[in-house]
């Protein structure tokens, strides 16, 4: 075979391989450039996280990470509040928990409820994600085997209660415009892993959050530390809210697969929580301790969120002075139709007598349907809730706001 013909044949044989090689190099180059661009974006962002140790990149939604020690490093919050309203407590029962200390106890195995991390119940594992929200923040959630519901935050960067999340964001955007020098306030009763507290804080709020379940508080504290909000924008309390300040009650599970479904109600219990005896405090005691009820106080609380598994009536009974002061502008709460009618009537009485009116109702995602009826009789409102006229999520607001 002539040399020229042999060379031509060899070249033709190599061409497909060369194409594959060139294409591989091209796509590898594109991948590297995209990665460098992503890293540069994160580094230039005020939300860029410090390196988290022992992190496995999950590749889920803008930097989702699976991590067993999320609380070692902080991230910077986007703005520095000009004024915080928290006053150092005078009542020892109202001392916020120390997140650094709590997380150290968790990692050392000193917390009874969190020390047994198994393959089927990996409570020691957290999933950290940079949220897909208007003002992104880092959130730590449970493994899906521990909490099948809120693991969606890691998957999608959003909470499953989308409507309610939108309401919280809108309320604090508006509140921040009104009170430019002072942080708008949120009270979160039954914070769970802290999604709504963190969301409000990302919109400039200063949050007082109560969560009696230490399993959830571990995740909440991880999120606070990651965003550098612990003790500044967020004051979290490992306590329940009730109607008798200092009373100690046992906690009960309502649903074994949902860490958020803990209650102090014996009627709603699924099983008793080992070591789950905690002191309760009242919101009136908090308000007095912080000076919110004093004549010269100009405090306004844009929102109080309550989700305490069928003991909402006790939480409101312990907040009568706070409610009647009308410094709370809006109340979001869960009202289930299978709550005892007498408890529903007590809830309706507390709110209506304090000047609040039912504004919107909705299903699990949040209250999105405006209520046409004006309720003045608590029994009628309680009856409509029991008869499932509404969804389980309710939004109350001060009655006079309707005229604005």
Q: Tell me if 332 sits within 8 A of 172, measured CB to CB.
A: no
Domain edges within the chain = 65-403
Q: Give the pLDDT confidence of 251-282 residue by residue, as tens digits.
A: 666 555 555 455 554 554 444 555 467 789 99
Per-residue pLDDT tens for 55-66? 333 323 333 444
Indicate the SS3 state at residue 394. Answer: strand
* Residue 54 in this model has a pLDDT that exceeds 70: no
Token readout for 55 is: 């992190």
Q: Are 181 and 206 in contact (CB under 8 A)?
A: no
> Given this model, what pLDDT does residue 45 score?
27
Contact status, residue 220 vs residue 209, Cβ threshold 8 Å: yes
Residues 6 or more apart whose Cβ sits within 8 Å of residue 306: 189, 190, 312, 315, 316, 331, 332, 333, 334
Query: What pLDDT does residue 385 have?
Result: 96
What is the pLDDT, as a whole number, of residue 179?
A: 66
pLDDT tier, 87 (very low <50, low <70, confident <90, very high otherwise) = confident
Query: What was the pLDDT predicted at 250?
Result: 77
Class of domain 65-403: alpha beta
pLDDT of residue 28: 60
The confidence score (pLDDT) of residue 363 equals: 94
Closest residue by Cα to residue 315 from 347, 289, 290, 288: 347
What was the pLDDT predicted at 77?
46
Using pLDDT thresholds of 50, 70 and 90, give the confidence band for residue 332: very high
Name the more confident of 95 and 145.
Answer: 95
Q: Count of alpha carbons within 13 Å of 372, Cβ hemisphere only?
A: 1
Residue 10 has pLDDT above 50, yes or no: no
For residues 1 and 23, what is the distance between their CA atoms, to the nearest angstrom?
32
């Amino acid at each position: 075979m002539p040399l020229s013909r042999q060379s031509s044949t060899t070249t033709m044989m190599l061409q497909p391989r060369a194409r594959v090689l060139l294409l591989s190099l091209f796509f590898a180059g594109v991948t590297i450039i995209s990665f460098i661009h992503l890293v540069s974006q994160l580094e230039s962002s005020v939300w860029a996280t410090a390196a988290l140790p022992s992190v496995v990149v999950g590749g889920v939604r803008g930097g989702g990470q699976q991590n067993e020690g999320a609380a070692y490093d902080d991230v910077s919050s986007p703005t520095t509040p000009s004024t915080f309203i928290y006053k150092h407590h005078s009542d020892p029962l109202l001392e916020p928990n120390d997140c650094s200390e709590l997380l150290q106890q968790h990692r050392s195995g000193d917390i009874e409820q969190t020390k047994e991390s198994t393959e089927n119940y990996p409570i020691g594992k957290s999933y950290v994600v940079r949220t897909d929200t208007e003002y992104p923040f880092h959130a730590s959630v449970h493994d899906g085997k521990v909490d099948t519901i809120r693991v969606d935050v890691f998957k999608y960067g959003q909470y499953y209660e989308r409507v309610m999340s939108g309401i919280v964001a809108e309320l604090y955007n508006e509140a921040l415009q009104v009170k430019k020098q002072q942080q708008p306030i949120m009270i979160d009763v039954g914070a769970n892993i802290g999604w709504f507290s963190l969301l409000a804080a990302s919109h400039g709020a200063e949050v007082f959050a109560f969560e009696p379940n230490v399993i959830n508080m571990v995740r909440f504290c991880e999120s606070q530390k990651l965003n550098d909000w612990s003790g500044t924008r967020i004051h979290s309390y490992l306590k329940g809210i009730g109607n008798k300040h200092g009373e100690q009650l046992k906690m009960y599970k309502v649903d074994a697969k949902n860490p958020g479904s803990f209650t102090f109600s014996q009627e709603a219990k699924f099983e008793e929580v080992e070591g789950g005896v905690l002191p309760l405090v009242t919101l009136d005691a908090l308000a007095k301790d912080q000076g919110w009820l004093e004549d010269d106080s100009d405090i306004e609380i844009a929102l109080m969120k309550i989700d305490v598994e069928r003991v909402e009536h006790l939480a409101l009974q312990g907040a009568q002075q706070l409610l009647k002061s009308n410094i709370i502008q809006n109340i979001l709460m869960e009202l289930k139709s299978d709550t005892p009618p007498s408890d529903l009537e007590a809830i309706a009485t507390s709110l209506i007598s304090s000047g609040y009116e039912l504004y919107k109702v909705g299903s699990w995602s949040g209250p999105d349907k405006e209520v046409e009826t004006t309720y003045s009789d608590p029994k009628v409102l309680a009856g409509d809730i029991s008869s499932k006229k509404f969804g389980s999520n309710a939004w109350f607001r001060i009655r006079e706001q309707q005229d604005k």
